[in-house]
């Protein structure tokens, strides 16, 4: 829905925005030039960890705080760039001693503890491939990922190991080493595992980063599983060129920033922007071990002097539910930029944040497959609430439709919807789905990558998310994106969350059905249902408005916080639930 536009931010003009003139920056941009903003390895080649840590130390910035980690009690622990260099060197040496080398899979199942970050970067230094997993996964998704990814080593904690991994060992023949990260040095590790701290203490703090090149595999990331079984997207060291460039443009990150990305590295956002991008820029990365808690988050923003904040719509909706007054109990003098990713950010949320924080959340769009931000609302440009923004410099996007004979027909007219496609060739693009070559090939027509998302572009070049191709509703000859309907339901003061599906119907093919969770203080009853139906009809018209609304205490979501519409649909129709390995309540 088009709400009023929010004029470009004028806060802290003393820090010049990386992107000042959108069109000029796009014209001037080249990926080759972006690549040359990196140092490369001293002997040639490119390695993410070198760009993220060692080059800052070599330039004399070793004393600067690279990582500020808040433990569960909220106590800060600082790791300088120099110390992180030493720790990741030790970790890389540990891997080497265990016989792990280039291309070998190192997985992590730890929660957000310092060793997760040390393991990620140490693995990359060693030329091995890193795959982070959500610590809340149950044994089945852990097994699935480690066997597809042929994990040779796993970094985990004693309790996670005993509860979730020990029973899987015999069915994971490739898994040679389990490193327990939370034991004191020299403490005995569970049978069949090693004490990581002991190994670290005995390892050398000197390491020569393995000479990887741009196309060498670096990371394996599983998709969120919102639309089906998660896919393993493979990423290369060259991706760091895009991490750096996109973080500058879309997050306006500078070396002087204290950057908080609330995503867990189990989700690609938590690695591309929760580890690699801020360190490559030379900023201070804030990590909170604790899960979402509005009060703690506001306190953290205030006390840690966060300047740039990157979070997701679910968290924003939870904050909205609690109200703007809670936000205003704290002060955020340093905060200058807020961004959101992962799901459509309702226009309501953008407007709300502008009131509550004095600046809007800037929505941006990307996928596990794209490895980095592709479309964004920029700090120096007007924000259109409800729009994902415009393609980054270096990214060519278009709206197109795939014909039955496999051709792409581009939509030129503004506001017409179709599939969002991207011209292949940016450095963080995935290089394949693990063990799913055919599925990977199906994503491309010529040199265009098909995202599987439907969108439209307005006459100013801003993109508007319509829905995932799988979620689009076909009703009485119309195509309706669920987001449009959800967005209008969210406008109603009683609605905290909304999920919309197409329910099969003999006459209309499908009818629009909405599931709604209410804010505190509102009661689910017939009167409210009728009120919501009327509100939607008034705003959307009879064709697009939902015909049915059900109330739910909360909507099913992935661990990365996305509403699982396919699950709402399966449950509504009494069909099998399919792969629910990433479902949040599935502990």
Residues that bind ligand ATP (CB under 6 A): 223-228, 230-231, 341-345, 363-365, 367-368, 388, 451, 453, 465, 468, 560, 562
| C-alpha 188, offset from chain centre | 36
Asked if 463 and 375 touch (Cβ cutoff 8 Å), the reply is yes
Residue 365 contacts which entry, ligand ATP, Mg ion, none (Cβ below 5-8 A, type-dependent) = ligand ATP
Q: Which is nearer to ligand ATP, 308 or 375 (CB)?
A: 375
Shortest gap between Cβ of 542 and ligand ATP (angstroms)? 26
Asked if 369 and 430 touch (Cβ cutoff 8 Å), the reply is yes
Residue 482 contacts which entry, Mg ion, ligand ATP, none (Cβ below 5-8 A, type-dependent) = none
- Sequence length of the chain is 587
How many of the other CB atoms lie within 10 Å of CB of 56? 24
Structure tokens at 47: 């390695």
Asked if 456 and 479 touch (Cβ cutoff 8 Å), the reply is no
544 contact partners, CB below 8 Å, separation of at least 6: 478, 480, 484, 485, 512
Q: How far apart are CA 87 and CA 68, in angstroms?
A: 15
Q: Which is nearer to ligand ATP, 189 or 263 (CB)?
A: 263
Q: Which of residues 210-239 bind Mg ion (CB under 5 A)?
A: 223
How many of the other CB atoms lie within 10 Å of CB of 49? 34
Asked if 268 and 218 touch (Cβ cutoff 8 Å), the reply is no
Q: Which of residues 152-181 bind Mg ion (CB under 5 A)?
A: none
Give the pairing of strands 177-180 and 76-80. unpaired
Candidates 221, 261, 219; CA nearest to 240 is 219
Residue 285 contacts which entry, ligand ATP, Mg ion, none (Cβ below 5-8 A, type-dependent) = none
Residue 378 contacts which entry, ligand ATP, Mg ion, none (Cβ below 5-8 A, type-dependent) = none
468 contact partners, CB below 8 Å, separation of at least 6: 226, 227, 452, 453, 454, 565
Shortest gap between Cβ of 369 and Mg ion (angstroms)? 7
Q: How far apart are CA 499 and CA 486, in angstroms?
A: 6
Total binding residues toward Mg ion, as defined by CB under 5 A: 1
Shortest gap between Cβ of 168 and ligand ATP (angstroms)? 22
Residue 93 contacts which entry, Mg ion, ligand ATP, none (Cβ below 5-8 A, type-dependent) = none
Q: Which is nearer to Mg ion, 223 or 311 (CB)?
A: 223
Residue 225 contacts which entry, Mg ion, ligand ATP, none (Cβ below 5-8 A, type-dependent) = ligand ATP
Shortest gap between Cβ of 368 and Mg ion (angstroms)? 7
Q: Which is nearer to ligand ATP, 258 or 501 (CB)?
A: 501
Shortest gap between Cβ of 57 and Mg ion (angstroms)? 37
Q: Which is nearer to ligand ATP, 153 or 485 (CB)?
A: 485
Shortest gap between Cβ of 433 and ligand ATP (angstroms)? 10
Q: Which is nearer to Mg ion, 212 or 223 (CB)?
A: 223
Q: Which is nearer to ligand ATP, 76 or 452 (CB)?
A: 452
Shortest gap between Cβ of 6 and ligand ATP (angstroms)? 16
Q: Which is nearer to ligand ATP, 96 or 561 (CB)?
A: 561
Collapse the DSSP code of 319 into the 3-class scheme (helix H, G, I; strand E, B; otherwise coil) and give the result: helix
Structure tokens at 210: 């393995």
Tell me the β-bridge partners of 455: 418, 465
Q: For tokens 């939607």, what's the residue? A: 536
Give the pairing of strands 397-402 and 418-423. antiparallel
Q: What is the dihedral of CA 515, 519, 524, 528, to 10 degrees?
A: -90
Q: Select the residue whose beta carbon is closest to Mg ion and give its number.
A: 223
Q: Which is nearer to ligand ATP, 342 or 385 (CB)?
A: 342
Q: What are the counts of helices (DSSP H) followed by strands (DSSP E) for the chain?
A: 20, 27
Residue 209 contacts which entry, Mg ion, ligand ATP, none (Cβ below 5-8 A, type-dependent) = none
333 contact partners, CB below 8 Å, separation of at least 6: none
Beta strands in 377-417 (DSSP E): 390-391, 397-402, 408-410
Shortest gap between Cβ of 231 and Mg ion (angstroms)? 8
Q: Which is nearer to ligand ATP, 475 or 560 (CB)?
A: 560
Shortest gap between Cβ of 101 and ligand ATP (angstroms)? 29
Collapse the DSSP code of 384 into the 3-class scheme (helix H, G, I; strand E, B; otherwise coil) and give the result: coil
Q: Which is nearer to ligand ATP, 132 or 230 (CB)?
A: 230
Q: How far apart are CA 556 and CA 564, in angstroms?
A: 6
Q: Which is nearer to ligand ATP, 436 or 510 (CB)?
A: 436
Asked if 117 and 65 touch (Cβ cutoff 8 Å), the reply is no
Shortest gap between Cβ of 218 and Mg ion (angstroms)? 20
Q: For tokens 């639309």, what's the residue? A: 227
Shortest gap between Cβ of 223 and Mg ion (angstroms)? 5
- Indicate the helix (H) or strand (E) that contains 453: strand 448-457
Shortest gap between Cβ of 319 and ligand ATP (angstroms)? 17
* Interface ranges with Mg ion (CB under 5 A): 223
């Amino acid at each position: 829905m088009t709400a009023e536009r929010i004029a470009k931010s004028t806060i802290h003009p003393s820090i010049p925005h990386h992107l000042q003139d959108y069109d000029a920056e796009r014209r001037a941009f080249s990926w080759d030039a972006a690549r040359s903003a990196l140092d490369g390895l001293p002997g040639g080649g490119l390695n993410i960890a070198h760009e993220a840590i060692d080059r800052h130390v070599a330039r004399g910035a070793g004393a600067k705080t690279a990582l500020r980690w808040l433990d569960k009690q909220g106590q800060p622990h600082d790791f300088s760039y120099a110390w992180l260099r030493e720790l990741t060197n030790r970790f890389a040496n540990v891997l080497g001693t265990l016989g792990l080398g280039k291309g070998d899979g190192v997985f992590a199942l730890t929660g957000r503890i310092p060793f997760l970050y040390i393991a990620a970067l140490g693995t990359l230094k060693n030329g091995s491939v890193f795959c982070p997993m959500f610590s809340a996964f149950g044994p089945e998704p852990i097994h699935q990922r480690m066997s597809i990814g042929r994990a040779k080593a796993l970094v985990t904690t004693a309790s996670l190991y005993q509860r979730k991994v020990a029973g899987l060992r015999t069915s994971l023949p490739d898994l040679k080493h389990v490193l327990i990260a939370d034991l004191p040095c020299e403490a005995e590790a569970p049978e069949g595992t090693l004490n990581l701290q002991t190994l670290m203490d005995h390892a050398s703090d000197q390491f020569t980063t393995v000479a990887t090149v741009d196309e060498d595999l670096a990371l394996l990331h599983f998709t969120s599983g919102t639309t089906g079984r998660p896919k393993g997207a493979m990423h290369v060291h060259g991706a760091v060129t895009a991490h750096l460039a996109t973080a500058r443009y879309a997050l306006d990150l500078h070396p002087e920033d204290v950057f908080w990305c609330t995503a867990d590295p189990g989700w690609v956002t938590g690695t591309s922007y929760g580890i690699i991008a801020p360190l490559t820029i030379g900023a201070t990365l804030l990590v909170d071990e604790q899960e979402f808690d509005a009060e703690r988050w506001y306190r953290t923003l205030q006390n840690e002097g966060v300047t740039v904040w990157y979070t997701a719509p679910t968290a924003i909706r939870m904050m909205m539910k609690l109200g703007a007054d809670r936000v205003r109990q704290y002060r955020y003098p340093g905060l200058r930029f807020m961004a959101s990713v992962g799901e459509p950010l309702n226009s309501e949320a953008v407007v709300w944040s502008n009131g509550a924080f004095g600046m809007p959340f800037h929505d941006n769009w990307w996928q596990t497959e794209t490895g980095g931000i592709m479309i964004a609302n920029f700090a120096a440009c007007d924000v259109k609430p409800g729009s994902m923004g415009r393609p980054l410099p270096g990214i060519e996007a278009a709206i197109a439709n795939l014909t039955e004979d496999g051709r792409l027909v581009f939509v030129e007219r503004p506001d017409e919807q179709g599939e969002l496609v991207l011209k292949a060739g940016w450095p963080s693009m995935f290089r394949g789905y693990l063990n799913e070559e055919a599925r990977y090939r199906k994503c491309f027509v010529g040199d265009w990558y098909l995202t599987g998302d439907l969108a439209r572009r307005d006459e100013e070049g801003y993109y508007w998310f319509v829905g995932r191709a799988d979620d689009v509703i076909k009703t009485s000859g119309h195509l309706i994106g669920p987001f449009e309907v959800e967005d209008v339901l969210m406008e109603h003061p009683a609605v905290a969350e909304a999920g919309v599906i197409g329910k099969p119907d003999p006459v209309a093919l499908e009818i629009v059905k909405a599931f709604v969770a209410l804010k505190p203080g509102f009661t689910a009853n017939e009167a409210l249902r009728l009120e919501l139906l009327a509100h939607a009809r008034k705003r959307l018209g009879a064709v697009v408005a939902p015909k049915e609304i059900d109330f739910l205490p909360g909507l099913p979501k992935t661990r990365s916080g996305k509403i699982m519409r396919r699950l709402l649909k399966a449950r509504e129709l009494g069909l099998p639930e399919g792969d629910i390995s990433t479902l949040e309540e599935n502990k």
